[in-house]
Each structure stands twice: as structure tokens, then as C-alpha cells.
Structure 1
């Protein structure tokens, strides 16, 4: 489990491509290396990955075909930075919201509005996913737990404070970029339960 409180950014320092498979290596900040062992879970742009090799501060992770298909990790290159978070431990503060590290889809950044001390980012989602998006609800964007601002058709926005911009890669995002989306699991469960109940009632009438 993750909390959506990104602990920093890690630079991609190596990429090995194979058929429907990729291994990428990141340079982890020293603060995230303590106690890290093979098999540990680390979220990259919100996607839960498993450490497969550790060489000093260089840590490698394997990406399977489904990960490459669903997430934006198949497009990262050497020199890019990804948001990282170690798996939560019992007793940790949950400053964001509970996240699984399982990406549902990608959204495209459509507009960025900068103003003093904050940034508003508008994103376009597939219409089928918008049923889970509510004003003031939770959403995971590239692993960051954020509160939804406004909802407009198949688009929504989030507001980013300077701390989020300095700690994550959201300050580097531009219109046209694609970001990983994880829907709040409680919201998803409620929406799908209501849909199922209404469908059953409609079938009985």
C-alpha cells in the first residue's frame, strides 16, 4: 500500500529494452535507500514496481507488457525523473489517501495555468473513467494524492501548491504530457456497487 505522499524524484539512469519487457534503473535518493532490499515495492509515477537489483544507489525494476501498455513508464528515457514512494509501513502517517499502486489508465494534460504560489492543471480522461471523478474527491496522479478541483465534461483540474511542485515532477509537466491515474478505490467500489444495484432493479421492473 502507498499513501500518495511522494517522497522525492529519482532519475532514470539506464533502460534495457526487450520484447514486451523493459528494465529501467533509477538513482534513488539516499533517504529512500535505508533498509531497501530485493523484492521491495517502490512506486514509480504511482505504479507499484519490485526492486530486482541494487547496486549502491542504482536500483533496477522490471516492467511487464501490461505495465508498459497501461502506464507512462514505457516512454520514460534516461535523464527523465519519476516520482517515487516506498511502500507504507504500519505506523506511518497517512497524509494522502490509501493507494494500491495499480494504475487504471492515463490522462492527458490539456492546460496549465500558473499564478503566484500555485499551479492549476487540467487533464482529459477517457469518458468511461469520468464516472469516478467528483469535485473534492481523491485521485492519484503519477503517484501523488490530490484533491479534485473542478469537473468539466471529460476533464477535471487539480491545484498544486509549491511543496508539491518542488517535491514531484509535476512542475515539469507540459500540455500534451500523459500521466498515470489511480482512482480512489473506495470511490470506485461505491460507484460500481450503485451501478450494479440500479441495473438489477431495472432488470426486475
Structure 2
């Protein structure tokens, strides 16, 4: 498990391709590998990878299967590419972000960038089926970083996150331009809640569900809105 608090930026030192498998040697920031062992998990741009070899005090090797290369941005990495990295969380560690599994759900694309004073705003285009799990003020993980959704437009298929200077300093987000692909892991409890509510609606309404969906659509709503988690004021 990871916390979504990126601990630094690593760079791809070497890439070795074999049938159905790609091996990466990553060059980590000083101190990152202290106590790191073979078999340990490291979040690499949000993807949970296993250390297969320690080559120096600042380098380690990882193997990535073809399916992971196809489903994530790791397949597009080249030597010298920077990536966000985080060591696996330890028992009792402070969860500064939200719990992450390191299992990517889908890839999204940077649709637009705004830069208000002292801020950096990414608008991210999302495949429509996944928008049902994304809500304003909810959590989401982007390239391994736990972030809060500022705005979301379910019909248009996008959401926005605001990044402060410290986040830009500790991550690769400042280098992402329009069109860049990103790894997305949705917040798991939100997914469970939405799917449970949708299943309950489907089970109870049965044949009436299409009529309800049509009625809600005519009013600018959707069944997904009914399954939206309630934001409780703090």
C-alpha cells in the first residue's frame, strides 16, 4: 500500500526488452534506497512494481509485464524519462494522502493547463465510463500522487486538479504538457459506494431503469448523480 505522497523523482537509467517483459533500471534520489530490499514494492508513476535487483546505492531494477505496459504509461518511457516514486507505506505511517494500491485503472490525458498566480491547474480528459467515480472534492491518484478533485464535468468528461508549488517541485507534473498521458487510480471506497448504489437501483427498478435514465437525462441528470457520495461538512 502507498499513501500517495510522492517522495521524489527518479529517472530511467536503462531499459531492457525481452519477449513479453520489459526491465527498467531506475536512478533514485539520494537516500531513497536506504533499507530497500529485493522484493520490496515501489510506486513508479503510480504503478506498484517489485524490486528485482539492487545495482547500487541509488539504483534498482524492476520487471514490467506486457499487460502493465499496455495499460499504463510505463510502455512509453525512454531512457532519461523522469517518474514519480514512493516507497511502500510502513505500519503506523502517517497517511498524508489516501490509501493507494498501485493498481492503475485507466490512462487519462492532459486536456488543458492554466497557471493562475502561484498555482498550476491541470484539466484532465477521462474515458466516459470512469467519470461516474470522479466527484468534486473527492480523492484521486494521478501518477501516484494523491490529489483532490477541484471541479468535475461528467457530461464533458473532464476534471481539474490544482497543484501548489511544492507539489510541482516534488513531482513531474510541471513537465506535463497538453496531450500527455497520465496513470489514474480511482479512490477505491468511492468506487465501491457508487457500484453498490447502482446495483441496488438496477435490482429494485429492473425494467423501469431505462425509463428513469431517460427522465433524468431530459432533466440534465443521470443515475450516476444518484449514486454520488454525500460530502459531509467538517
For residue 116 of structure 1, report the CA deviation from its aligned partner: 1.8
Q: Which runs of 5 or more structure 1 residues have no equivalent in the other structure?
A: none
Write the distance in 1 (CA, Å) between the matches of 2:88 and 2:184. 18
Match of 1:181 among 181, 184, 188: 184
- Superposition TM-score, scaled by structure 1 size: 0.97
1:139 match:
140
**Match for residue 205 of structure 2?**
202
Q: Distance in 2 between matches of 1:111 and 1:204?
A: 40
Whole-Å Cα distance in 2 between the matches of residues 4 and 68 of structure 1? 21
Could you say if the C-alpha distance between residues 204 and 175 of structure 1 is closer, same or farther in structure 2, counting changes exceeding 3 Å?
closer
Measure how far apart 1:30 and its partner are: 2.3
CA-CA distance at 1:204 after TM superposition: 8.1
- For the pair shown, the structure with the greater C-alpha radius of gyration is 2
Moved more, 135-144 or 30-39: 30-39
Give the aligned partner of residue 31 of structure 1. Answer: 31
**Under a length normalisation based on structure 2, what TM-score does the superposition of the two structures give?**
0.86
- Distance, in Å, in 2 between the alignment partners of 1:78 and 1:159 is 29
- Alpha-carbon distance in structure 2 between the residues aligned to 1:45 and 1:121: 17
Gaps of 5+ in 2: 209-234
Q: Which has the higher contact order (CA 8 A, sep 6+)?
A: 1
Partner of 2:19: 19
Partner of 1:130: 131
1:46-97 deviation digits (Å, cap 9, x = unpaired): 0000000111121110001111111000101111100000000011110000
- State whether residues 112 and 124 of structure 2, in contact with CA within 8 Å, keep that contact through their aligned partners in structure 1: yes
SS at match of 1:30: coil
Report how many aligned residue pairs link the two structures. 205
Q: Residue by residue, what CA displacement relative to the aligned partner does 1:106-165 show, whole Å, maximum 9, x if unpaired?
A: 000010111221100001000000000000000000000000011122001000000000
Shift of residue 203, structure 1, vs aligned partner:
2.6
2-side partners of 1:146 and 1:51: how far apart?
26
Distance in 2, Cα, partners of 1:121 & 1:18: 36
Segments ≥4 residues shifted beyond 3 Å? none
RMSD of aligned C-alpha atoms? 1.1
Question: Greater strand percent: which structure?
Answer: 1
1:165 maps to 2:168: yes
- Residue pair 2:33, 2:59 contacting (<8 A) in 1 also: no
What is the CA distance between 1:20 and its match in structure 2? Answer: 2.6
* Match in the other structure for 1:77: 78
Deviation at 1:28, TM superposition (A): 1.3
| 1:19 Cα offset (Å) | 2.5
